[in-house]
Amino acid sequence: MKKLDLDDKKIEKARELAGKIVSPVQEFISSHTTVSVERAVLRLFGVDGVNRDEIPMPNVIVDNINNAGKLSKGAAWWLGKALISLDCTLPDIYEKLEDKKFDITSVNGASDEEVREFLDTQAGEVLDEITGKREKRKSLKEKLGEGKEPLLYVIVATGDIYGDVVQAQAAALQGADIIAVIRSTGQSLLDYVPYGATTEGYGGTYATQENFRIMRQALDRIGNEIGRYVRLVNYSSGLCMPEIAVMGAMEELDMLLNDAMYGILFRDINMKRTFIDQYFSRRIIAFAGLIINTGEDNYLTTSDAVEEAHTVLASQFINEQFALRAGLKPSQMGLGHAFEMDPLIENGFLMELAQAQMAREIFPEAPLKYMPPTKHKIGNIFFSHLLDGMFNLASVMSNQSIHLLGMMTEAIHTPFLQDRFLSIENAKYVMNNTRNLSDDIMFVKGGYIQERAQKVLDEAVRMLEEVEQTGVMKAIENKKFASVSRSPGGGKGLEGVVAKAKDYYNPFEEKLFQFFNCR
């Protein structure tokens, strides 16, 4: 139901502007690759494990190639060539690489034809495998069924994957639909993906393939028990965006937090690096049928949610264009927004509702990710619990899809078992008790809510016009988003950006392109 009387022309205009904003970046992206993109490609080919110094094999290989100054041709090429030339398996290559003097790019033998054919065949198989996993998920979801939207999303963050499993299964029993395993603090700044099961993380558990697997199994087990499909989420933003996307596809995750803007603004990751990484990661995610979650909600933790509401909307338009260009369907775009206004504002709830409803109407097919109040949470857990209740209400009143649960202890610690229980209980009560309220109310024409939404849309259009003028990189430098300034030359990871050579070859890029073009 459309309730806000928004001007469709303005929405269209915003989309156009966002398209124009994204185009030049997209051009830059196409002509570059990164160490992480290349490691992701290797992972797709099955490269995994660590060497004797505990360095992950994808890093070992890419560093090897990069040190030889030959990454611009694509890591797959050199690996493929070495495998055929030496007629060996991956473990053989790993073994050779233990010798620091071994240079994988120096292996010769196979012809370009042979390498290309080998890579194409292999890539085809890998993609078939991913398709298989995608189908498997789909049928499991159909078999078990899912909870009602808004789906209840909670985090676990014990730092021990086995502890996380207990928390996650208990949460599922209590009614959670989606489980996110929070990463160890600072993992997004690591230029590699840790290996193996984690039992001691800081404020979270490392995103590793093994951890993904352990949790996926645990959730499938509990899902079968309770007869409800439980989704698994992890974080792909950061320096290893594409690799984690691959891991997510392999281990059958359902969603990944995935947003270059988030990394730039909140992790000080170099923008060039992460835009490139984002593109390839989203190609994989699109193919694997996962949902991305974007991070616009975070803007409101540093800038004021009333004043800067339009920056969230403007960024959603931009993110949508980036996503479309990477082949994501609207139904895979969990665009982020948040309930972050100062609770002491008169009629603040009306503004929140306007914002949430607006996002719903502008992105009707997107499984919006709605974030709870966090910034204005304080140690008064009773008040905090109430605030979450009002957030839950706003969500069901505006038909949100992916609903992150607020915790009454948000200002204190990562959730205890009981915090999560109380939070789920809160959401279940509020949402069930007001289930069809949204169908039963209309907003007064020209009233407070409508005017607020219209104002925010106007401001977003104005902002997009400005960003289109300066370009998104300059706009970021000018603190347009989240009041944070980052420069194209600053931040972490720029050294991992490599201009593609003319003969750069990444079999997946091509195949994925084909896949999307023929859809």
Partner 1 sequence: MEEKLKKIKPYGDTLNDGAVQLSFTLPLEAGPRADAAALELSKKMGLEDVHVVHSNSLGLGFSFFVVYGKCRHLIDVEKLKFIETAFPLMEFDEVNRYIRMKIGRKITVAGACTGTDAHTVGIDSIMNMKGFHGNPGLERYSEITAYNMGSQVRNEDLIAKAIEVDADAILVSQVVTQKDIHLSNLTHLVDILEAEGMRDNVILVVGGPRITPALAKELGYDAGFGPGTLPQDVASFIAYEMARRKGGES
Q: Which residues are catalytic?
A: 262, 297, 369
> Please, which residues have CB within 8 angstroms of residue 49's CB and are 6 or more apart in sequence?
56, 57, 94, 195
Distance CA 414, CA 468 (A): 39
Is residue 203 close enough to count as binding ligand B12 by CB under 6 A?
Answer: yes
Is residue 282 close enough to count as binding ligand PLP by CB under 6 A?
Answer: no
379 contact, one of ligand B12, a copy of itself, partner 1, none, CB 5-8 Å limit per kind: partner 1
Written as six digits, the tokens of 275 are 């835009």
12-to-6, 19, 71, 220, 311 alpha-carbon distances in Å: 11, 11, 41, 41, 17
Q: In this chain, which stretch among 146-154, 287-295, 386-394, 490-498 interacts with ligand PLP, using CB under 6 A?
A: 287-295
Written as six digits, the tokens of 219 are 């959730």
Residue ranges of E strands in 151-197? 151-156, 178-181
Residue 245: CB minimum distance to ligand PLP, A: 12
Binding site for partner 1 (CB under 8 A): 157-160, 163, 166-167, 169-170, 173-174, 185-186, 189, 202-203, 266-268, 301-302, 375, 378-382, 409, 411-418, 421, 484
Residue 388: CB minimum distance to ligand B12, A: 12
Phi then psi dihedrals of residue 181, to 5 deg: -95, 110
Q: In this chain, which stretch among 83-91, 120-128, 371-379, 489-497 interacts with ligand B12, using CB under 6 A?
A: 371-379
Is residue 513 close enough to count as binding a copy of itself by CB under 8 A?
Answer: no
DSSP 356-376: HHHHHHHSTTS--EEEPP-TT
Query: Is residue 330 helix, strand or coil?
Result: helix
Q: In this chain, which stretch among 49-57, 328-336, 370-378, 393-401 interacts with ligand B12, using CB under 6 A?
A: 370-378
237 contact, one of ligand PLP, partner 1, a copy of itself, none, CB 5-8 Å limit per kind: ligand PLP
Written as six digits, the tokens of 265 are 């603004």
Residue 210: CB minimum distance to a copy of itself, A: 36
Q: Which listed residue (294, 303, 316, 374) binds ligand B12 by CB under 6 A?
A: 374
Q: In this chain, which stretch among 20-28, 102-110, 362-370, 407-415 interacts with ligand B12, using CB under 6 A?
A: 407-415
Distance CA 209, CA 194 (A): 9
Is residue 235 close enough to count as binding ligand PLP by CB under 6 A?
Answer: yes
504-to-66, 125, 246, 338 alpha-carbon distances in Å: 14, 21, 20, 41
Residue 298: CB minimum distance to ligand PLP, A: 5
Residue 11: CB minimum distance to a copy of itself, A: 22
Query: Is residue 470 helix, strand or coil?
Result: helix
| Of residues 19 and 163, the one with the C-beta less far from partner 1 | 163
**Secondary structure of 28-95 as H, E, C letters:** HHHCEEEHHHHHHHHHHCCCCCECCCCCEHHHHHHHHHHHCCCHHHCHHHHHHHHHHHHCCCHHHHHH
∠ at Cα 492 (490, 495), nearest 5°?
90
Q: Which listed residue (188, 357, 374, 398) binds ligand PLP by CB under 6 A?
A: 188
Residue 244: CB minimum distance to ligand B12, A: 14
Return residues touching ligand PLP (CB under 6 A): 183, 187-188, 235, 237-238, 257, 259, 262, 267, 293-295, 298
